[in-house]
Amino acid sequence: MALPATQRGAAAAPRPTTAGERLSALTKTAQFYWWAGHMVVLIFGTLYYVKRPFGWREANWYYGKAYMGALASYTIVIYKTYGPPQLNLAFAQRLLVDENVEYLMLAAYWAWCRPMWVTLLPFVVFSLFHVVTYARSSLIPLFFPDVPAEIQRARQGGQVVSVAGRVSRFMGEWSSKYYSPALREVGVWEVAVIGVWIVLGAVTLQTPLLAPLAYFQFLRMRYALSAPTRAAFRRVRVFVDRLLTPPTAHSAVPAVVADAYIKVRDTLVRMGSMITDPAAHQQQR
């Protein structure tokens, strides 16, 4: 990032030398508070799932705090990306196609609704990877400045000696190995588990009737903009097809159930094609 105009040509500020000075400089960045928000999500979200079997009221307190952390993190990253809000159509259009904005709005809605344990899990998973990545890239080098050079030498055939270096390498390897599979599973969770949960909750009056409409609008945007979400829909479709449609369906499945499912499935497929390619769908019609 270029220096502000008032600083160009001026003498460079002395670089922090001690861990305390480096930490002080780090805490003055927006990214540090973005990471802190994800730490809140990870800690309080984990405590929510631990406490939930033993008491609803106490667990719900952790649930609310976890969503406060999510709101803070997504607000920071959106502000850093787009700057102060602008009252014009172009700015609004840019926001609407940003996944961070979509998850910010979803987090705000879930924080407002009655707690539903299924909704928090994707945020906790996202935060876990953000926390690990930031710790590896910013916190470990802050306290152990030699670690980046040590990792670089290891890539060239050297050996990682220090404990901090081994921890950093483990974090990098763990994130690389599990990040994509975790995103795939989160996508299926968002489509199949949360979607079904809120529909059943609305039918039984356990969740607001507005919840399915709001969530399906979120899924509609994710389907249009996210290849992993479209892949999650395909995985769910293949799984349910195997359960409910011939020749793989169990003989105990009534024909009326299979027929109803096929009609719903085909309707959703047509809706999906309209979302991803409305012009081609119009020509086909």
pLDDT in tens, 177-224: 999 999 999 999 999 999 999 999 998 988 888 889 999 999 998 998
User: How many domains, the chain?
Assistant: 1
Cis bond before residue 247 (omega within 30° of 0): yes
pTM, entire model = 0.86
The mean predicted confidence, pLDDT, of the chain is: 86
Q: Which domain holds residue 114?
A: 23-185
Helix (H) or strand (E) holding 49: helix 30-51
> Is 251 part of any domain?
no
Residue among 181, 277, 276, 281 at smallest CA distance from 228: 181
> Is 284 part of any domain?
no
Is the confidence at residue 159, as pLDDT, over 70? yes
End-to-end CA distance of the chain: 50
